[in-house]
Amino acid sequence: MLVFKFGGASVKDAAGMINLAKVVSLYQDQQLLIVVSAMGKTTNALEKLAKAYFDQSDDIQDIYESIKRYHYDIIAELFDSSASVFDDVANTFVEIDWMLEDEPQDSYDFIYDQIVSVGELVSTRIVAAYLNKAGLKAQWLDVRGYIHTDNKYREANVQWDKTRESITLSIPEQLTQSIIVTQGFLGGTSENFTTTLGREGSDYTASIFASCLNADSVTTWKDVPGILNADPKLFDDTVKFDELSYNEAIEMTYYGATVIHPKTIKPLKNAGIPLLVKPFGDPTQPGTVIKEGVTNVFKKPVIIIKNNQVLLSISTSDYSFVSEDHLSDIIGRFAKSHVKINVMQTSALSFSVCVDYTPEYLDKLLKNLNSSYKVKYNSDLTLITVRHYLHDTIKNLTIGKTTLLEQISRNTAQVVVK
């Protein structure tokens, strides 16, 4: 039994849908569960819609109509006008229609999850319909009834026991009858509200299903030949890894490598299930396999670039030393505000922290910190992380830049620059 995950880039247009069906057709002799992300840049567009609705902006309907038109144009290329998928997609968009009829009453995070989740619900309707049209018997499945979460909207925690029970109860039987197509990134609460598992969380969804179903492997199909030592959009001389250990993959995702969601590896490692990263444009290529028992020799360092960073410098209001009690309190405030720390460094009088710039969370954190501490910050920064570094690599990456923070350990160097 195999689990496939297709990202937004692989289903961004009609050609992508046709290619997906060709990839799937190569595995017709296997039981197959397919996890699909929203199409193209739909998640970004739906985020914009959620913000416009929450702020009651004038462009709500313009944004929404553009999203619907994008999907209907693709459907029109793939199906004749009588196809039932038109009604299926229209009925799915109704979830947004109902919300937009009223002024916002709930928190932004709740609204975000109810609106943004529609991207995956629509894309999977189209994928399932097209697979059936291509002669590949497929069944659409609503993931919200299988992946159960708490109520932490935008970063929901999976309730594993309940999730495992739901998945193992009926899905193995369904897999004997057809391919299953379901949504990445989404979950559901006990009150039947939609949650999301964190940005780019479709990989994690695939690993949840694989773990519960004891799959032979998970394959995530990407627009790159496999896992590279650096982003090919930023560097010309990248190299592909044929194999990676679970541990190295976890380290890379922790530091911000976007090819895999950070939570993906743990369920697979615990179950001993390999993860393959393969190019959807050439499915016969081997890609990269992440598994147990790999000893990597790094001929080139792994380079991870994170832009849009903020460096906070936090000190006590009376200039006393930053003690362990202070650190415990400060980190607790970060957790309460849902702000993740990318780098931290202490000195006698200050605690420096580099974080992603997420306005709604950062503003809340700054207000919280300013009530007890002095806070200075720099924004619009870049965090450079180099695994298995060479000093020349760090030097070359920081030429012409101002270094605001540097931290070097045995295997990893991190530099915050402007």
Domain edges within the chain: 2-291, 302-417
Question: Which pTM value belongs to this model?
Answer: 0.90
- CA distances 22 to 12, 180, 280, 344, 367, Å, are 16, 16, 10, 47, 52
Q: Which two tokens stand for residue 51?
A: 């913000």
For the stretch 41-55, pLDDT in tens is 999 999 999 999 999
Of 185, 182, 184, nearest to 174 (Cα)? 182
Q: What is the mean pLDDT of residues 351-377?
A: 94
> Residue 371: which residues within 8 A CB-CB, separation 6 or more?
none
CATH classification of 302-417, choosing from 3.30.420.10, 3.30.2130.10, 3.40.50.20, 3.40.50.300? 3.30.2130.10
Evaluate the CA torsion angle 168, 169, 175, 179 in order and state its sign: negative
Asked whether the predicted pLDDT for residue 90 surpasses 90, the reply is yes
For the stretch 166-185, pLDDT in tens is 999 999 999 999 999 999 99
pLDDT number for residue 259: 77
Q: Give buried/exposed letters for 35-56 (b at 16+ CB in 10 A, else e).
A: bbbbbbbbbebbbbbbbbbbee
pLDDT number for residue 297: 79
Confidence of residue 201 (pLDDT cuts 50, 70, 90): confident
Pick the residue with more confidence: 201 or 75?
A: 75
Look up the CATH number of domain 2-291: 3.40.1160.10
Q: Which two tokens stand for residue 73?
A: 């144009």
CB of 61 within 8 A of CB of 97? no
Of 216, 137, 214, 215, nearest to 179 (Cα)? 137
Residue type, 361: Y
Question: What distance, in Å, lies between the first and last C-alpha atoms of the chain?
Answer: 48
Pick the residue with more confidence: 401 or 360?
A: 401
pLDDT number for residue 132: 98
Asked whether the predicted pLDDT for residue 352 surpasses 90, the reply is yes
Phi-psi region of 226 (alpha: psi -120 to 50; beta: other; left: phi over 0): left
Of 289, 281, 217, nearest to 249 (Cα)? 289
